[in-house]
Amino acid sequence: MGTFTPSFAGDVAFVTGAAGGMGRACALAFAAAGAKVLLCDVNDAGGEETAAMAVAAGGEAVYRRADVSSAADVEAAVGEAVARWGRLDCAVNAAAIETETVLLHEATEESWDRMQAVNLKGTFLCLKYELAAMLAAGNGGAIVNIASTNSFRPQPHQTAYTASKHGVLGLTRQAAIDYAPLGVRVNAICPGGIDTPMLRGAMERRGRDPQDVANRLSLIGRFGTPEEIAAAALWLCSDSSSYTMGHALAVDAGYLAR
């Protein structure tokens, strides 16, 4: 079977949550495909490491700290991409947190607020500044929000996370209809169980056996890799998906089909 090998030569990409997991894989994939990449996170060591990995592989990437729940941080990070390279073409909004272990009636207001601030407001802020930069550059663009299978089907004890991921899908669809006429395509990826620090942490907190979880979350008994998400993200950001907008692409080894 063939493989899809995109080229983003001359393009500028912005990736959040790029210190690890899917964000890192997306940043490295963009850099390998020739894009200049501005990557951000709140984990400075991981972010710097991702940038160094991209540069060591011959790409161009710069890390800048940005908490996606802060408008000032996101505006400055997107602004740095434009100041350095003069435009913004693609963005993947992957930053999120998942910290719950309790039922709704036991959840704290603080936990709810932080989850919405990072996962939902963070996606709003990223879209806001990315869209503004794309419109200003006048070249159109493509944005991918990382939602979740939780955008359709909740998992136990994930009240705030599930609500935030439903919201991310709503934001995606709203932005898609408003900005398609202006030349920017907005889509979402809904990952299933992907082997990242977030999933490992969630299984550890709940005392779950990884193979049992992989069997439950996929039709093929394994977790996905961050690279399998990056491949989908780059396709959605490429001209090869020019007729795809407002779409929620499940990359979940059939979990939602079951």
Ligand X SMILES: NC(=O)c1ccc[n+]([C@@H]2O[C@H](COP(=O)([O-])OP(=O)(O)OC[C@H]3O[C@@H](n4cnc5c(N)ncnc54)[C@H](O)[C@@H]3O)[C@@H](O)[C@H]2O)c1
- Which residue, 132, 126, 64, 63, is CA-closest to 95? 126
Q: Which residue intervals of 10-158 are DSSP H helices?
A: 21-32, 44-56, 71-85, 109-115, 122-137
Q: Which x/- pattern over 82-121 shows residues binding ligand X (rule: CB under 6 A)?
A: ------------xxxxx-------------------x---
Number of residues that bind ligand X (CB under 6 A): 30
Q: How far is the CB of 46 from ligand X (least distance, A)?
A: 6
The residue within the footprint of ligand X, chosen from 199, 232, 233, 248 (CB under 6 A), is 199
Q: Return all residues near 82 (Cβ < 8 A) that are at least 6 apart.
A: 12, 88, 133, 136, 137
Task: Choose the stretch contacting ligand X; rule: CB under 6 A; options: 53-61, 64-72, 77-85, 179-187.
Answer: 64-72
Q: How far is the CB of 226 from ligand X (least distance, A)?
A: 6
User: Is 151 among the residues that bind ligand X (CB under 6 A)?
Assistant: no
Determine the Cα angle at 184 with ends 97 and 66, to 5°.
35
Task: Give every strand in the sheet of 60-65, ordered side by side.
Answer: 60-65, 36-41, 12-16, 90-93, 141-146, 184-191, 248-251
161 is catalytic: yes
Binding site residues, ligand X, CB under 6 A: 16-17, 19-23, 41-43, 46, 67-69, 94-98, 118, 122, 146, 148, 191, 193-194, 196-199
